């Protein structure tokens, strides 16, 4: 098969995500990167066409490791504003129990497009609300991701402990353990793609260890092991959670996680903030992945993820915007900036650099998702590329374009490529009209929010 070659030529700056030099651009053939061109060099591969990127910065497509797409329908809902995690959740569950199929499809498209416009080529979602009539939520999400042309790491979430069992969510959004496990197996068999060119992968993801029963946590770990898929959940987001866990289980969250067979490299955790030094060492030894969510953690005043200690201990750190009810926007390149600002408060200006936070958003996230052929520019990797323009007021006068991407606050791509195909050009998605999508999404959000008294 002959496939034409394309050279992204002479960018203003390139972030490769590794120690190699591609200062004069990258060459793409088919769905792969076939050559990195060092400063002052020209490609050795015969070139069919090129794009001059001299006023643009190119990075590997950004990878979001944690989100709740349905929450785009409940951004800034008045009854949930200015509340810490638990009361915030209790209010919003009453809204979310009314989600339907059209809402989940539209919310997935909207959040996905929002992420893609901000540079993301691979997006993970954690969906755990399955009210009656929405049993096929993940199938609907697969369709929505396919319509966007990006990659999706979709997680089959679950909740089995409702209010009547002492849990937080209303009984109307929980499912029985048998239903959850059978659907998890069905989704893995149907959609989990292990191939080199995979667009969809499935992981298993109880909402939190405290919204499902102990047997379900253990059975989920066993099912993931049997099918060789990943495990995902929220952990150590707040001190409230530590107290809740000590009261209910007589142990801290990480001890509980270990007791249900989840302290393994198969697991990635959203947030990962409130750990002791000993716990950080145990997480690192087990090579657990962490989805670092700086905006959400600041908005809910949850705390600061100890990324440096976790990384030193052996954990992979990926970046995530978290759900739109606890961040309100889904912008990956802006999230890298948030990480830089927040982490500098803890670790200082010298250690926390643009390279470091872009590393979280690219190869760090790829490692968290065990998605080995994305997240960096290297020969043989999938051609997922974000192209950010510097032709804006905010960039005028920059000395280092790569640092400017983070500190001047880039917020949208000029172009986005997934598997060698342009899916966004001139800031516009090739298939989706954003105005029509916004109109539909706003109508559905209004309907959903009207179903509960604020």
The DSSP bridge pattern shows strands 289-292 and 316-319 to be parallel
| CA 63 – CA 137 distance, rounded (Å) | 22
Give the nearest distance from C-beta 71 to Zn ion in angstroms: 9
Binding mask 42-81 for Zn ion (x = CB under 5 A): ----------------------------------------
Instruction: Tell me the backbone φ, ψ of residue 433, rounded to 5 degrees.
Output: -90, 110
Which lies closer to Zn ion via its Cβ, residue 208 or residue 220? 208
Annotate 66-113 with DSSP letters as a single string.
---GGGGGGTT-GGGTT--HHHHHHHHHHHHTT--HHHHHHHHHHHHH
Give the nearest distance from C-beta 326 to Zn ion in angstroms: 7
Which lies closer to Zn ion via its Cβ, residue 24 or residue 211? 211
Give the nearest distance from C-beta 309 to Zn ion in angstroms: 22
Give the nearest distance from C-beta 214 to Zn ion in angstroms: 22
Give the nearest distance from C-beta 208 to Zn ion in angstroms: 9
Contact indicator for 121, 384 with CB cutoff of 8 Å: yes
| CA 318 – CA 367 distance, rounded (Å) | 8
Greatest CA separation found in the chain? 68
Which lies closer to Zn ion via its Cβ, residue 121 or residue 302? 302
DSSP code, position 61: P
Binding range to Zn ion, per CB under 5 A, among 175-183, 317-325, 328-336, 433-441: 317-325
Give the nearest distance from C-beta 377 to Zn ion in angstroms: 30
Closest among 326, 324, 336, 319 to 299, alpha carbons compared = 326
Binding mask 134-173 for Zn ion (x = CB under 5 A): ----------------------------------------
| 155: β partners | 126, 203
Which lies closer to Zn ion via its Cβ, residue 22 or residue 320? 320
Binding range to Zn ion, per CB under 5 A, among 144-152, 177-185, 320-328, 375-383: 320-328
Q: Number of C-alpha atoms within 13 angstroms, CB side, residue 241?
A: 24
Instruction: Tell me the backbone φ, ψ of residue 300, rounded to 5 degrees.
Output: -90, 5
Q: Which of residues 402-441 bind Zn ion (CB under 5 A)?
A: none
Which lies closer to Zn ion via its Cβ, residue 71 or residue 118? 71
Which lies closer to Zn ion via its Cβ, residue 125 or residue 414? 125
Give the nearest distance from C-beta 330 to Zn ion in angstroms: 12
Give the nearest distance from C-beta 226 to Zn ion in angstroms: 26
Which lies closer to Zn ion via its Cβ, residue 325 or residue 390? 325
DSSP code, position 244: H
Which lies closer to Zn ion via its Cβ, residue 85 or residue 408? 85
Give the nearest distance from C-beta 429 to Zn ion in angstroms: 25
Q: Number of C-alpha atoms within 13 angstroms, CB side, residue 407?
A: 15
Q: At 271, list the tokens.
A: 């947030």
| CA 407 – CA 121 distance, rounded (Å) | 22
Q: Which of residues 233-272 bind Zn ion (CB under 5 A)?
A: 270
Binding mask 321-340 for Zn ion (x = CB under 5 A): -x------------------
Helix residue spans in 118-250 (DSSP H):
137-148, 177-191, 214-227, 239-249
Binding range to Zn ion, per CB under 5 A, among 84-92, 133-141, 147-155, 319-327: 319-327
Which lies closer to Zn ion via its Cβ, residue 56 or residue 324? 324
Give the nearest distance from C-beta 274 to Zn ion in angstroms: 15
Judging by beta carbons within 10 Å of its beta carbon (0-12, 13-18, 19+), is residue 364 exposed, middle or buried?
Answer: buried
Give the nearest distance from C-beta 224 to Zn ion in angstroms: 19
Helix axes 137-148, 177-191, angle to 10 degrees: 30
Which lies closer to Zn ion via its Cβ, residue 322 or residue 335? 322
Handedness of CA 70, 76, 81, 84 (dihedral sign): positive
Instruction: Tell me the backbone φ, ψ of residue 127, rounded to 5 degrees.
Output: -110, 120
Which lies closer to Zn ion via its Cβ, residue 110 or residue 270? 270
Instruction: Tell me the backbone φ, ψ of residue 83, rounded to 5 degrees.
Output: -120, 150
Judging by beta carbons within 10 Å of its beta carbon (0-12, 13-18, 19+), is residue 326 exposed, middle or buried?
Answer: buried
Which lies closer to Zn ion via its Cβ, residue 59 or residue 307? 307
Residues contacting Zn ion: total by CB under 5 A: 2
Give the nearest distance from C-beta 339 to Zn ion in angstroms: 16
| CA 80 – CA 87 distance, rounded (Å) | 8
Binding mask 266-305 for Zn ion (x = CB under 5 A): ----x-----------------------------------
Q: Which residues bind Zn ion (CB under 5 A)?
A: 270, 322
């Amino acid at each position: 098969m002959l496939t034409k070659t394309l050279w992204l030529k002479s960018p203003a700056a390139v972030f490769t995500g590794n120690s190699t030099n591609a200062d004069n651009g990258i060459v793409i053939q088919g769905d792969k990167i076939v050559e990195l061109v060092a400063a002052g060099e020209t490609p050795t591969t015969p070139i069919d066409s090129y794009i001059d990127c001299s006023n643009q910065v190119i990075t590997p497509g950004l990878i979001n490791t944690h989100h709740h797409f349905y929450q785009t329908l409940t951004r800034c809902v008045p009854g949930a504003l200015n509340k810490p995690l638990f009361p915030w959740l209790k209010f919003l569950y009453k809204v979310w129990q009314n989600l339907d199929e059209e809402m989940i499809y539209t919310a997935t498209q909207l959040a996905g497009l929002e992420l893609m416009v901000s540079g993301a080529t691979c997006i993970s979602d954690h969906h755990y609300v399955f009210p009656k009539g929405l049993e096929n939520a993940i199938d609907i999400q697969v369709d929505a991701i396919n319509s966007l042309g990006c990659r999706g790491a979709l997680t089959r979430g679950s909740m089995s402990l409702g209010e009547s069992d002492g849990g937080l969510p209303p009984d109307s959004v929980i499912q029985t353990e048998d239903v959850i496990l059978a659907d998890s197996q069905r989704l893995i068999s149907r959609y989990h793609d292990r191939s080199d060119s995979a667009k969809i992968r499935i992981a298993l993801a109880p909402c939190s260890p405290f919204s499902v029963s102990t047997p379900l946590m253990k059975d989920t770990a066993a099912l993931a092991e049997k099918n060789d898929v990943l495990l995902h959940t929220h952990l150590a987001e707040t001190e409230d959670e530590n107290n809740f866990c000590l009261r209910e289980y007589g142990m801290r969250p990480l001890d509980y996680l270990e007791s249900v067979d989840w302290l393994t490299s198969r697991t990635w955790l959203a947030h990962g903030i409130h750990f002791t030094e000993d716990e950080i060492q145990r997480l690192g030894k087990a090579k657990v992945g962490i989805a670092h969510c700086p905006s959400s953690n600041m908005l809910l005043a949850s705390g600061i993820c100890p990324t440096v200690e976790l990384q030193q201990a052996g954990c992979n750190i990926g970046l995530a915007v978290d759900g739109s009810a606890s961040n309100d926007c889904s912008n990956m390149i802006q999230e890298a900036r948030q990480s830089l600002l927040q982490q500098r408060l803890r670790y200082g200006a010298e250690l926390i650099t643009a390279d470091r936070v872009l590393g979280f958003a690219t190869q760090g996230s790829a490692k968290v998702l065990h998605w080995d052929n994305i997240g960096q520019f290297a020969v043989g990797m999938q051609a997922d590329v974000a192209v950010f323009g510097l032709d804006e007021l905010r960039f005028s006068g920059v000395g280092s374009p790569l640092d400017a991407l983070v500190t001047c606050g880039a917020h949208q791509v000029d172009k986005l490529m997934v598997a060698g195909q342009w899916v966004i050009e001139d800031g516009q998605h090739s298939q989706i009209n954003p105005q029509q999508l916004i109109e539909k999404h706003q109508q559905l959000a209004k309907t959903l929010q009207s179903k509960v008294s604020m």
